[in-house]
Amino acid sequence: MTNQQVTTPPRAGAKPSFWYGLPVGYFSMDLDPPVEQFMELVQQLRALPEPERDAADRALRLYAGVVQLLNTNQVQECALGMHPDDAGGFTTSVFTVSTLLTPGNAKLVIAGLAGSAADGKDEGLSPLELPCGLGYLSEKLAAAPRSTQQPDLNDALPSSIWQGTVAVALPGNAELVVLQMVTPDLDSADDYRNILLGIARTLTFTDPEQAEAADSAQEPAALTGAAAVIRNDFG
């Protein structure tokens, strides 16, 4: 799958510290919606007939709760994926990007985990040599979340999900960049692992616009186009 250009404003004026490509078929959730946007949705909700109003109110409350939960866990990107499958339907997935603070040097943490993976001490881990540095891939099957507020819906929910995680150390500090892919379509786990690894290979700690400007200064006629396929992450 090719990368699509995605642009989002920086949160609270924060400078981006890493960039990555987001594949076509993924749609980003707004994790920092302005108050005005919520108020406009509330006004639109009040104008709906009562049955639709109740359903829209539940959806709005769910969205607000999910956004709060993601922000609490330092999630900087949440994208919903939908792709056609061989049966004429669609497979779905959720892709997130977050940062995780380690107790010390993040590179040493990655090196230790990657070493354990290479030695076969942890069958769920695989070491990764990425363009941006050493990382690791972790994957597992996990029980799917269950609804406590509407338990009658649980019968229609999948019982298990595939979860893939790639972690890479941010240069010069104690944070990890964590890329995670989750799908209930266990038969497509190999495909989603490839998508996750493809995103991980685009991860960079060099501003692509500056890199392109440097390339342009050396060879004005040979632009790389990196800015068109790499997005900022404003953690």
Calculate the dihedral angle through the C-alpha atoms of 157, 159, 162, 167, rounding to the nearest 10 degrees. 90
Residue corresponding to tokens 């959720």? 94
> What is the pLDDT at residue 234?
37
DSSP at 145: P
pLDDT value of residue 6:
42
As a whole number of angstroms, the distance between CA 124 and CA 164 comes to: 10
Give the C-alpha separation, 97 to 178, whole Å.
6
| pLDDT value, residue 223 | 41
Report the C-alpha gap between 199 and 74 in whole angstroms: 19
| 148 φ, ψ (degrees, to nearest 5) | -90, -25
Amino acid at 234: F
Q: Residue 96 to residues 62, 71, 147, 161: CA-CA distances in angstroms?
A: 18, 12, 21, 15
- Tell me the C-alpha distance between 117 and 124, whole Å: 8
Q: Which residues of 9-41 are buried (b: 16+ CB within 10 A; e: fewer)?
A: eeeeeeebbbbbbbbebbeebebeeeeeeeeeb
Note whether 60 and 45 are within 8 A (CB): yes
Single-letter code of the amino acid located at 108: L
pLDDT per residue of the chain (235 residues) written in tens, 0 to 9: 445 434 333 344 456 789 999 888 888 888 887 878 778 877 887 787 877 777 677 667 766 767 777 777 778 888 888 888 788 878 888 899 998 888 878 888 888 877 666 666 656 788 899 999 989 899 998 887 666 665 665 665 677 889 999 999 988 878 899 999 999 889 889 999 999 999 999 999 988 777 666 565 565 544 444 444 444 443 3
pLDDT of residue 107: 85
pLDDT at 139: 92
Question: In order of start, what are the domains of the chain with their CATH numbers?
Answer: 16-29+77-233 (3.40.1000)
Q: What's residue 108's pLDDT?
A: 85
> SS3 for 151?
helix
Residue 168: name the closest of 208, 132, 199 by CA. 132
Per-residue pLDDT of 90-131, as tens digits, reads 888 889 999 888 887 888 888 887 766 666 665 678 889 999
Quote the CA–CA distance of 94 and 31 in Å, as a whole number: 14
